[in-house]
Chain A
Amino acid sequence: VNEKYPNTQIPKHPNIFGYLGIWVLGCLTMALTLQPIAEAVEKISSRTPVGSTLKSAEWEQVPREIRERAIFSSRVENARVLDRIKSGLENILSGTRNEFGGIEDRSKFITELGKLAEREGLSPSDPGLKGTIQDITSEARADLILRTQTEMAYGYARHKRGSSGPLLRAAPAQELVRISERKEKRAWVDVWRSHGGRTFPGQPSIGGELQPGMGGIRLIALKGDPIWSSISRFGNPWPPFDFGSGVGVANVTRTEAIQLGLIQLNQITTEVPAGMNDALEVDVGEMDPAVRAELLRGLGNLVQLAGNTLKWIGGAA
């Protein structure tokens, strides 16, 4: 509601953390609750702000294991701005209330990030960049950061929850679906096929067509299939798979997966790796030397470099 009514506070509902609904299945129950997704909050909280002059395309050269540990934004070195991004995302995902009883939302995040960036003197010197996503003081840039990071945190949380135990057995596969419409849609079916993905006839289980003229095609693969990382601009097996794409994933049940021939009737599903490697050692030998030097400067004592091996050791940037 705050996006519609700025400067307002949502009244506290006694049942905000309670049950919204209960389905009674025989003697078993199912409930719909409104509560923060813990894994999404943890995902943001565990990341460290890293200031750097690297551009977006240069950050894409940085190994995913490092990017997943860092809060960064293209060409932003300012620690206060990066700290504000992190705290804003944490507040939004956790639903933390401020001293007035209000929760941080999109409009507050955008307003305060823009004001802070302006105070820090980060307005672009080129007037032509004013208001574009290259302008860290702009609504467009703050909105992009917010959408991408919250979608990534929720995507990770859903991936983690669905990668083991009963949830993986119940839904061993997932489908690429359109969560939000876009005026210009990327050719996801072509991308999928170019990475060797199997397609299936039928309407996607959520949303409309992924690609104009491709409404009757479903893009489905097992959760552990490497195609999910392959189609992602960020290298993650969870959404978002590109900036502002509007697509995500939907669970495909075991029954459907069997019918589609993705698994056998008595097949035991193996756990899907849910996160990064624990050792956090990555080879940076093939990185552009200038990008590598700037990355090392930004990471400071968060990492140690031995030869071409970069090891994440944590600590303050």
Chain B
Amino acid sequence: MIVIRINSDDARNRLEFMLDKIEHPADMLAESATRVERSLRGHFSERDKRGNKLGGRRTNFWAAIANSTAIGDVTDRTADVNIGDKRFAQKLYGGTITAKRPWPGSGFLLLTIPVHPAAHGRRVSVTARETGLKMTFVGTAAGGVIGRFAKQAAEDEIYYVCVPSVDQAPDPEALPPGEMLEREALQGAEDYLKTEVQAAQLQPETGEITT
């Protein structure tokens, strides 16, 4: 669990002071969550611009993460922002990946890692179908390669490298900096409070800030 705290006593004090004055804290939290959610989606959208390392056809992974991000439950005490695409967990936390089912072409429990642009984001069968090439496995249970093997070795093309497992490191930029999210959350709350003060000034007879 990542916990990000507001370090500014001044900001916290002002928020606590204003919280006592408002009738609907959920509305304030909702405006705060709106800015956080928008900031997150903006970050994912920026990540999507980078493309993939192999230079293959883009899968727009990060755009899919952005599209699956939405504000969740908002109460007077809490506000959630949800990311619906489960693949994000592996980006954020990393971890060891092992094959659970053998690829029929080898019979071994091996991961097939794309190393050719045409293989990016594709399983072996899809690459074979799309390229019209016969994909052949060469290797053992300890590892190998999948590719198109010609009569001349110089014309061989490797599409996948096969390994029993991969340790994937967490992506340190999977989420935007915590300070940025904290800033957005605070800005949303302060915007809300300022607007409420302005609205209250238009209605002096009410005596208190309402939403």
Question: Taking beta carbons and an 8 Å cutoff, which residues of A are in contact with B?
Answer: 1-11, 13, 15-16, 18-37, 40, 93, 95, 100-103, 105-108, 110-111, 114-115, 131, 137-139, 147, 150-151, 154-155, 157-158, 161-162, 165-167, 169-171, 177-181, 205-208, 239, 246, 248, 250-251, 253-255, 258, 265-266
Contacts and interface: CB of A to CB of B under 8 A. Distances in A.
Contacts of B124: 6-7
Given A20-B2, A25-B189, 20 more contacts: A3-B121, A5-B97, A7-B103, A8-B98, A23-B182, A25-B15, A28-B29, A28-B76, A28-B79, A29-B79, A30-B79, A32-B175, A33-B80, A40-B84, A107-B121, A154-B67, A161-B70, A161-B72, A167-B34, A206-B38
A147 B203 CA distance: 49
B149 interface: no
B192 A170 contact: yes
Contacts of A100: 100-101
A110 to B, nearest CB: 6
B211 to A, nearest CB: 7
B145 interface: no
B38 A205 contact: yes
B140 interface: no
B3 interface: yes
B97 A31 contact: no
B107 to A, nearest CB: 13
B100 A255 contact: no
B28 to A, nearest CB: 8
A31 B30 contact: no
Given A1-B87, A8-B98, A30 B36 contact: yes
Nearest to A131: B130
A9 B1 contact: no
A108 B33 CA distance: 34
Given A26-B15, A37-B82, A167-B34, A6 B112 contact: yes
Overall SS of chain A's interface:
mixed
Most buried by A among B78, B97, B113: B97
Contact of B93 (A13, A137, A253): A13
Contact of A111 (B27, B64, B123): B123
Contacts of B77: 27-29
Interface of B: 1-6, 12, 15-16, 19, 24-27, 29-38, 40-42, 45-46, 48-49, 59-61, 63-64, 66-68, 70-72, 74, 76-84, 86-93, 95-101, 103, 111-114, 120-126, 129-130, 166, 168, 175, 178, 181-182, 185-186, 188-189, 191-192, 194-195, 198-199, 202-203, 211
B194 A23 contact: no
11 contacts: A9-B97, A24-B6, A27-B16, A30-B36, A34-B82, A106-B59, A108-B123, A150-B67, A157-B84, A165-B74, A179-B48
A210 to B, nearest CB: 12
B96 A206 contact: no
B81 A170 contact: no
B43 to A, nearest CB: 9
A51 B78 CA distance: 45
A33 B19 contact: no
A283 to B, nearest CB: 33
B101 A7 contact: yes
Centre residue among B1, B5, B15, B103 by max chain A CB count within 10 A: B1
Contacts of A157: 70, 84
B97 A179 contact: no
B123 A107 contact: yes
A115 B78 contact: no
Given A100-B101, A108-B123, A254-B195, A170 B89 contact: no
Contact of B89 (A10, A25, A207, A239): A10
A129 B87 CA distance: 33
A108 B122 CA distance: 9
Nearest to B1: A19
A178 B45 contact: yes
B87 to A, nearest CB: 6
Most buried by A among B5, B48, B82, B112: B82
B198 A265 contact: yes
B70 A21 contact: no
A254 to B, nearest CB: 6
Contacts of B60: 147, 180, 246
A46 B138 CA distance: 46
B60 to A, nearest CB: 5
A40 B178 CA distance: 28
B126 A32 contact: no
